[in-house]
A and B are shown apart, each in its own frame.
Chain A
Amino acid sequence: MNRGALLMREGYRALRGHGTPVATDRVSPHLFAQKRPDMMTDTIRPEILPHGQDGLSLRLGLTPAEQTIGAVMALREALEQTPPDGTEEIAGSLTSVYLRFDPARTTRDAVVASARAVADRTDLDAAALPAPHRRWTIPVVIGGAHGPQFGEMAGAAGLSEAAAREALLTAKLRVLAIGFAPGLPYMGLLPPEWDVPRLRDLTPNVPRGALVAAVRQVILFTNATPTGWRHVGMSAFPGFRPDRDPASPLRAGDEVRLAAMTPADLEALERDDPDGLGGARCETLR
């Protein structure tokens, strides 16, 4: 058993030792990044853990393995379709689904039981992500002055700049989670060669609208920020607009295609953006 799984089992004993009334699922080693081949037939099931007096975490892993990301998306969608009574909100990260409930209307035990029932009848092992409801096409300028670390990123992925550009423009990205900052989309996954770690030294000030890449994912920044992700391109896409409804145009699960635009296109959008979406288009698929 790997160290992570061992710690988790100990953790579980510790939690149970506290008289935790939350029934907790057996921890499957399958949930960890270092899978043992002989465990591959295990079924993915969420651990259901407390998160505040009115919250739960349904956790499918500690690291964002491809299969974990798919299971999170499937479970979140299933819970959104059949929310337990008393549910106040549902959100997701790359590895877990968060559910907040109203203790005036329900109990933790009841929410845990119905969330587990939803998980049990949902196929969390399917390799493919659930089909997207919407597809966005977001124009970006890749490389050059607008993506000063693009060449370095292509090199780290072992690709020519042309091949890296082609990979970004043909990837069928999904919004895996929104978070960290309001409206900030984590999108992925890119092919395995893009599994490049974040830089150890932060780039001090990467601008709003920047397309950044690391660990098989890309993000479009909603505000200027220091980051260890490599700055590979630039968009005019506003990820968060508090004066609009919804404030965050993207939702977890949306498909995203990046489309090439020129620096002149970008300048034109920065001057005049009639839709307030940085030239992005959204199609409803189902």
Chain B
Amino acid sequence: MTGTLTLHRAGPGVTVQDLGRPGMTAQGLSQGGAADRLALHEAAALLGLRTPVPALEMAMTGAEVSVDTPTRVALTGARMQAMLNGQPVAWNATHLLHPWDRLTIGAARAGIYGYLTPAGGIATAAVMGGHGAHLTAGIGTALGPETVLPLGRDPDPAARQTVIRTDDRLSGGTLRMMPGPQTGLFDDATRARFHATHFTRSRTGNRQGVRLDFDGDPFSSGTDSLASDIIRAGDVQMTGEGVPYILLSECQTMGGYPRIGTVLPQDLPRVAQAAPGTEFAFREMTVAEADALWQPDQDVLKSLKAKVQPLRRDPHDIPDLLSYQLIGGVIRGDETED
């Protein structure tokens, strides 16, 4: 059975996102898709899906939703406060929503982009082979309150609730960088200084990219009148002021600023999830080292599935067990035992 999901309230940056539209560079369209692709894979692992499905991406602030058909949802990405009918529920976990439930997701406590993934995916019509909004291309829009979205069928609404333990990616750290086409435009001293510099995520940033702040001289390539060239997510551009920008999924496809290198896609969720002020450093890798770390999406999903566990509930974590069970409406009897 298919159904709908209604947004009763939505923060300003709520969009549908999937894994984007690869292969459109020649048309000037960057891949786009979820700012934190790993969060969509975690959701697929939690829900036992074969592949990630279109989800709600919520930037900084969440949403209040209900469904008209029982469906599981997974909550992943930036840690946001989630309440089911007023009771706090676990993040990085699945929850079964019934038509009488209200799921309320508040502001991010850590990270930027939270994800609400219905088990059947959000089933809006595909545009150019994708379901996600690509706002800079004018595809899709940010979703306002009272939006009703079609849902795909949950393949297994009765499945046990699950939880996944994730490695921290919400607090910056070291970003692995491989040489790119223009790394050679920067001299050895500039590159050495770049790799020895501590950066913080500036207040300027969105799905197109984030700017980094630092103390010290600008990073200059010594080249002016460079022709615009193909750019992609992960590229680290130096603006005219010599300040680095790390490009994210919704970047343009061509840019005229010199690029010092490319952050590995495995580390881009860390970039996307960094709140202003988060600290970063870069670690230079050879092309061979970087290539050896490439992983197909299917392998990423497989390794995440190995980390998924049943959601154990301690009765002490449930403030009012009786009201929980009444409101939840379904008592399997094993909630406190597994």
Contacts and interface: CB of A to CB of B under 8 A. Distances in A.
Interface of A: 3-4, 7-8, 10-12, 14-15, 18-22, 33, 49-55, 57, 59, 61-64, 88-96, 98, 100, 103-104, 108, 177-184, 223, 240, 242-243, 245-248, 251-252
A53 B181 contact: no
A251 B139 CA distance: 20
A8 B181 CA distance: 11
A12 B294 CA distance: 24
Contact of B228 (A14, A93, A108): A93
Interface stretch (B76-84, B185-193, B307-315): B185-193
Contacts of A3: 222
A88 B31 CA distance: 13
A180 B251 CA distance: 9
Nearest to A65: B227
B127 interface: yes
Interface stretch (B18-26, B115-123, B160-168): B18-26
A103 B286 contact: no
Nearest to B191: A14
Contact of A247 (B128, B232, B252): B128
Contact of B184 (A12, A19, A100, A246): A12
Interface residues of B, number: 52
Nearest to B233: A52
B202 to A, nearest CB: 21
Interface string B212-236: 0000000001110111111010100
B287 A50 contact: yes
Nearest to B299: A104
B68 to A, nearest CB: 28
Contact of B227 (A22, A53, A94): A94
Interface residues of chain A: helix, strand, loop or mixed (majority): loop
B69 interface: no
Given A3-B222, A20-B287, A63-B225, A91 B26 contact: yes
Given A14-B184, A90-B26, A242-B138, A52 B232 contact: yes
A240 B136 CA distance: 12
Contact of A53 (B128, B254, B290): B290
Interface of B: 22-29, 127-128, 136-139, 178-181, 183-188, 191, 221-223, 225-230, 232, 234, 252-255, 262, 264-265, 284, 286-288, 290-291, 293-294, 296
B128 A251 contact: no
6 contacts: A14-B191, A50-B178, A179-B228, A181-B136, A223-B138, A242-B128
Contacts of B296: 103-104
A21 B181 contact: no
A88 B22 CA distance: 9
Nearest to A98: B230
A280 to B, nearest CB: 17
Contacts of B291: 53, 103, 108
A92 B228 CA distance: 11
Given A94-B228, A179-B230, A179-B254, A53 B294 contact: yes
A243 B24 CA distance: 14
Nearest to B234: A52
A262 to B, nearest CB: 29
A247 B27 contact: yes
Given A11-B183, A18-B284, A93-B229, 10 more contacts: A88-B22, A91-B230, A93-B228, A93-B230, A95-B229, A98-B25, A103-B294, A180-B228, A183-B27, A183-B28
A27 B288 CA distance: 22
Contact of B265 (A33, A52, A223): A52
Contacts of A52: 178, 180, 232, 234, 262, 265
Contacts of A242: 127-128, 137-139
**Residue picked from A64, A92, A98, A103, most chain B C-beta under 10 Å:** A98
